[in-house]
Amino acid sequence: MDWTLYVITDAKLSRGRSHLEVAQAAIEGGASIIQFREKEMTTRQLVETAEKIKELTEEADIPLIINDRLDVALAVNADGVHVGQDDMPAALARQLIGPHKILGVSASTVEEALQAEREGADYVSASPVFTTPTKPDAPPPTGLEGLRAIVEAVNLPVIAIGGINEENVAEVIGAGAQGVAVISAVVSAPDIAAAAHRLRETIEAARKGA
Amino acid sequence: MDWTLYVITDAKLSRGRSHLEVAQAAIEGGASIIQFREKEMTTRQLVETAEKIKELTEEADIPLIINDRLDVALAVNADGVHVGQDDMPAALARQLIGPHKILGVSASTVEEALQAEREGADYVSASPVFTTPTKPDAPPPTGLEGLRAIVEAVNLPVIAIGGINEENVAEVIGAGAQGVAVISAVVSAPDIAAAAHRLRETIEAARKGA
């Protein structure tokens, strides 16, 4: 798995561009994973949209992860599902998707990360690392220290999310994150592909420097 | 299966009473099926609430059907799932829940009802039969004639829903519905159990008269 640049689609933050346009441009720019996150659509629309995104991710040979909606993930045979602390409990999600699909779990503390690991997560997203306007109801940020503590606590890849951008991404990689998940830093950019590309290059440079 | 009185919980229409209180009272009053319908809660809350309702329906030995959310239905091992025309396509829902769980599909036309039957529905809900304030975005009502046409078209039990109450329920049964699904007629009543009980008695009397 290449966890480098995990792009989460969010139609509301995408300046009028659709999930599909965002996913396409993010893939062009070097996204290594796409997560489809959408809370407003009907289930029918979710399934139809996810099916179309899956065509793109399959062609690019990268995984498609569905946020929260395990029914949609199963319906389109996505590569995995990501659950937050308000979503399906991780152990139940693992049981329903089986052993082969990717299960990601958001964790804002070491305790949540350890629980996610016990319950069958394939990766943990340390969330949020920095304060972010994208999720006003998010838990307090972990900061770089909290991220490092989670990285040290679990035997899973840790993806950092929340307020990460070109300026701070090197520190996040330095703290041990296997990759970075972004929403606004990529999907709100005027040129999504270019933003993804620059972020990916910065991450790869940080890895070499580390 | 006893399709007589299918009560759909709706916390918004329940005068401050919870899904659990509504389900409990409806069961006391003679509901033969409970459907849990909720569009606002987080997935975690949906699973937790559905688990509690399932304890009640199991104790009463009646089925629990989950509206739309197949993930929640699978998570709590509910007896079935009900999908509308904006939800998961019926064929996909059948594939994901397997052959044994109950699959219900809303149909407002004969064409939709026949498609539901082809795609593996166990019952069809003719919806809405009358105009109803509960679903302002619902398709045009079938009326008793439309209900009768659906009953004659499919080899499945047809449950009537939409604007049905003690005054018109006998006509609905006369038109061939196997049972009646209600929201406001029961859950908005001051005494939910009493409203369910009266409705059930009226349905049973109509069947004897028919």
Q: What residues make up the domain containing A197?
A: 5-209
Among residues B59, B61, B75, B8, which one has the least CA distance to residue B38?
B8
* Catalytic site residue from B106, B125, B184, B188: B106
> Which of chain A's residues have a Cβ under 8 Å away from the Cβ of B45?
86
- Indicate the pLDDT class of residue B201, thresholds 50, 70 and 90: very high
Give the residues across from B125 on adjacent strands. Answer: B106, B159
* Of B139 and A49, the one with more pLDDT: A49
SS3 category, B160: strand
Looking at A17, A18, A37, A52, which residue is catalytic?
A37
Domain of A195: which CATH number?
3.20.20.70
Confidence band for B137, pLDDT divided at 50, 70 and 90: confident
Collect all residues of chain B within an 8 Å Cβ-Cβ radius of residue A89.
44, 47
φ, ψ dihedrals at B40, nearest 5° = -105, -30
Tell whether the model's pLDDT for residue B134 goes beyond 80.
no
Contact B71 A96 (CB under 8 A): yes
Q: Of B163, B126, B161, B133, nearest to B147 (Cα)?
A: B126
> How high is the pLDDT of residue B11?
87
pLDDT-based confidence at B133, cuts 50/70/90? confident
pLDDT for A135 equals 73
Report percent pLDDT > 70 for chain B.
100
Across chain B, what does the average pLDDT equal? 96
Q: What is the mean pLDDT of residues B92-106?
A: 98
Mean pLDDT per 10-residue interval, chain A, length 210 residues:
96 93 98 97 98 98 98 98 97 98 98 98 97 80 97 98 95 97 94 97 91
Residues in Cβ contact with A102 at an 8 Å cutoff, skipping those fewer than 6 apart: A1, A63, A65, A79, A80, A81, A122, A123
Q: What is the DSSP string of B81-134?
A: EEE-TTSS-HHHHHHHH-SSSEEEEEESSHHHHHHHHHTT-SEEEE--SS--TT
Q: What number of C-beta contacts closer than 8 Å exist between A and B?
A: 57
Which pair of structure tokens corresponds to residue A24?
A: 């396409």
- Predicted local distance difference test score (pLDDT) of residue A28: 98
Q: How many domains does chain B have?
A: 1
